[in-house]
Chain A
Amino acid sequence: MNKLHKHHFHIGWFALLLFSAVLSPVAHGWSLFEKYQPQVVVSDPYLELHTGPGRGYPVFYVAGQGDRVTLLKRRTDWFKVAVNHPRQKEGWVHREALSHTLDLDGSVVDMGALGVDDFSGRRWEMGFAGGDFNGASALSGYLGYAMTPNITLQLEGGQILGDYSDGVIVSANILMFPFPKWRLSPYFTIGSGIITTKPHSTVVVAEDREDEIANAGVGANLYLSDRFMLRMEYKRLTALTSRDDNEEIDQWKAGFSVFF
């Protein structure tokens, strides 16, 4: 079968894909679902194939200089490769061992090692954090999308676990990163949302409450490695209650995130 090449996902290409999807679902399907498995050439004196995707798995075969190797798939920094000549073998190779590999035209292949640049240019990220919410424990998760390196939109959901009540908090936030290229990148955030509180069954008084909240805060991301980063944040929340005065809440949290 003829291999249709996958293309970069520019908007123009996307329009073309949509167009071709209307015209020909079959051809469209091929370009999306056929696996991309490029061939590369070993330029180091040898290339060691491990039985599994990790340094703990033994080397069972060694490909030589000039051998053609097909990249099948990857898991973390390990690539599953197939060697056809002189024997048919499939094994796992670390990204670093492939760093001098050439493509069939003879130029060095960029094996896609992640660094601070990928952190600065990240698009999607998700994370999990724990911390303090006015004296209670709080857990939260978020999904973020970077519109530009400086501005990220974020949806956040959290659970507040106090001794006398628990609650759920959902909010939408905008984060502004003045120095997105820094490894330790500070940010400002504002947002609003809804908080629902429910007293514990051992507490006799009070009923469930739902209030709107507005919040503002500061925080920082610290890039660790690969797709990992740490995040710390302080927020000041104002719960717009139906009672006489609004409630001010301090929230501290720390957690980790991964970006894609």
Chain B
Amino acid sequence: MESRFQRIFLSIITTGLLLTVVPSSWAEQAEQLELEPLLVREPERRPVEVDDLDSEDFEVGVFTGIMNVEDFGSDTVTGIRAAYHVSEDFFVEAVYGKTTLGETSFERLSGGLPLLTDEERDMSYYNVSVGWNLFPGESFIGGRWAFKGGLYLIAGAGSTEFGGDDRFTINAGVGYRLIATDWLAFHVDVRDHYFESDLLGTMEGKHNIEFSGGLTVFF
């Protein structure tokens, strides 16, 4: 321990000439150690610490696509996602997305009586889900290209701001992750967001299908 402190201290005070001085100071220490009895000789290398390795279990990214909101038509959806890979089979993912509500057919047919204000037409959602990597493996394009990737099933819960109110929402879907390099992946996702709402009179369940593509970065 003492010689480790000594080594640190030496490396600190020889800052300016670190590159050239440190190796020679280590060499000196090796000589000193050789004079000591064999039993007290310290190992020259520290043990391998697996926890100090760079781990890349997090995945963050953006996506965009089309979201159909029941009764309110389809519009562009964009969002961000962050995932933590717990094991090679399971991951936890948090998503935030935004889209815009269109006009209901009632609004169009009744001749311009708006059901919602412009602000209420901004729809956003967040959710936290658990994903299961169902079919991991390589995919092939032609004879020359092999890509790592796999299909995953995902389901979870969250909240949707719909017509000015927050609704408890469950989501489930399926996606494909194509891993281009160690750090970059592309996603294609189909997700159903289900919530109940009484915005159109009676309380009823609403299925909202989202189709999106995106890219993520591992770190």
Residues of A within 8 A of B (CB): 1-2, 4-7, 16, 19-20, 23-24, 26-27, 35-38, 40, 51-58, 71-80, 103-105, 107, 109-112, 128, 130, 137, 139, 141, 159, 161, 163, 166, 200-202, 225-228, 256, 258
CB-based contact B48/A73 at 8 Å: no
Residue of B nearest to A5 (CB): B46
CB-based contact A57/B137 at 8 Å: yes
Is B167 at the interface (CB under 8 A from chain A)?
Answer: yes
Q: Which stretch, B32-40, B71-79, B83-91, touches the partner chain A?
A: B83-91
Residue of B nearest to A13 (CB): B8
CB-based contact A54/B133 at 8 Å: yes
CB-based contact A141/B128 at 8 Å: yes
Cβ-neighbour of A202 out of B18, B133, B150, B199 (below 8 A): B199
Is B105 at the interface (CB under 8 A from chain A)?
Answer: no
Q: CA of A228 to CA of B132 in the docked complex: distance in angstroms?
A: 14
Interface size of B as a range? 35 or more
List 11 additional A-B contacts (Cβ < 8 Å) besides A71-B48, A139-B159. Answer: A36-B49, A36-B54, A38-B49, A54-B148, A71-B50, A74-B54, A75-B218, A76-B87, A80-B182, A109-B48, A161-B168
Interface of chain B residues 154 through 183 with chain A (CB within 8 A): 157-159, 163-168, 179, 182
Q: CA of A134 to CA of B9 in the docked complex: distance in angstroms?
A: 61
CB-based contact B18/A27 at 8 Å: yes
Q: Do most interface residues of chain B lie in helix, strand or loop, or is the interface mixed?
A: mixed
Closest 6 CB pairs of A and B: A56-B136, A56-B137, A137-B168, A24-B15, A112-B50, A161-B168
Residues of B within 8 A of A (CB): 8, 11-13, 15, 18-19, 22-23, 43-57, 84-88, 90, 92, 94, 120, 128, 130, 133, 135-138, 146, 148, 150, 157-159, 163-168, 179, 182, 198-199, 203, 218
Which residues on the B side are within 8 Å of A72 (C-beta)? 53-54
B203 to chain A, nearest CB (A): 7
Which residues on the B side are within 8 Å of A27 (C-beta)? 11-12, 15, 18
CB-based contact B11/A4 at 8 Å: yes
Q: CA of A4 to CA of B18 in the docked complex: distance in angstroms?
A: 10
CB-based contact A76/B57 at 8 Å: yes
CB-based contact A128/B15 at 8 Å: no
Q: 10 A-B pairs, CB-CB below 8 angstroms?
A: A2-B22, A23-B12, A24-B12, A56-B135, A75-B218, A76-B87, A103-B48, A110-B48, A201-B164, A256-B92
Q: CA of A7 to CA of B182 in the docked complex: distance in angstroms?
A: 27
CB-based contact A166/B54 at 8 Å: no
A172 to chain B, nearest CB (A): 21
B164 to chain A, nearest CB (A): 5
Which residues on the A side are within 8 Å of B148 (C-beta)? 51-52, 54, 57
The residue in B90, B159, B168, B179 that gathers the most chain A C-beta atoms within 10 A of its C-beta is B168
The residue in B53, B56, B199 that gathers the most chain A C-beta atoms within 10 A of its C-beta is B53
A216 to chain B, nearest CB (A): 25
Residue of B nearest to A138 (CB): B168
Cβ-neighbour of B52 out of A36, A53, A76 (below 8 A): A36
CB-based contact A202/B48 at 8 Å: no
Cβ-neighbour of A54 out of B18, B88, B159 (below 8 A): B88
B19 to chain A, nearest CB (A): 6
